[in-house]
Amino acid sequence: MAGEKVVDFTAPGTGGEFKLSTQKGHPVILYFYPKDNTPGCTVEGAQFRDLHKQFAKLGAVVVGVSRDSLKSHESFKSKMAFPFELLSDADEALCGKFGVMKMKNMYGKKVRGIERSTFVIDGTGKLVKEWRGVKVPGHAQEVLDFVKTL
């Protein structure tokens, strides 16, 4: 998938409808996370928040994606003071497009959920980097370091 053009998409977000093609000329960091207000997802979002000014200086657009409702996203974004949009993918259209739905073990039970993953799409709409099965500590910094090379 890396090196390929990402098909344009539209998704409902905390700032209204988000459309990939309107971000032309800007790298887009699309990070998929399992659930609002859970420990790992809160820490991951906070790391992207804390580095947001540096991403913005590079012209990069950070966007979080999960299957939570817009209402849940609005409250999570507000509580955490995220300066970036959160997209609601309740129908799993984006999750499907990026192949992030996986069977996971939750307290010994098999559940279908989002595998924490991050994708960088360059200013021309090409997928240039992907991380799957992300471990949260230091991840946002790693993404920032990569975006600096674009």
Whichever domain contains 40, its CATH number is 3.40.30.10
Say which of 29, 41, 87, 114 is annotated catalytic.
41
47-104 pLDDT per residue, tens: 999 999 999 999 999 999 999 999 999 999 999 999 999 999 999 999 999 999 999 8
Residue 6, C-beta contacts closer than 8 angstroms, at least 6 positions apart: 20, 119, 121, 125, 126, 127
Question: Does the residue 1 lie in any domain?
Answer: no
125-146 pLDDT per residue, tens: 999 999 999 999 999 999 999 9
Are 29 and 61 in contact by the 8 Å Cβ rule? The answer is yes
Question: Does the residue 3 lie in any domain?
Answer: no
Question: Does the residue 2 lie in any domain?
Answer: no
Reported pTM? 0.96
**Is 95 known to be catalytic?**
no
Question: Does the residue 45 lie in any domain?
Answer: yes
Question: Does the residue 76 lie in any domain?
Answer: yes
Count of structural domains within the chain: 1
Range 91-106 burial, b when 16+ CB lie within 10 A, else e:
eeebbeebebeeeeee
> What residues make up the domain containing 143?
10-147
CA–CA dist 68, 4 (Å, integer): 28
Question: Does the residue 126 lie in any domain?
Answer: yes
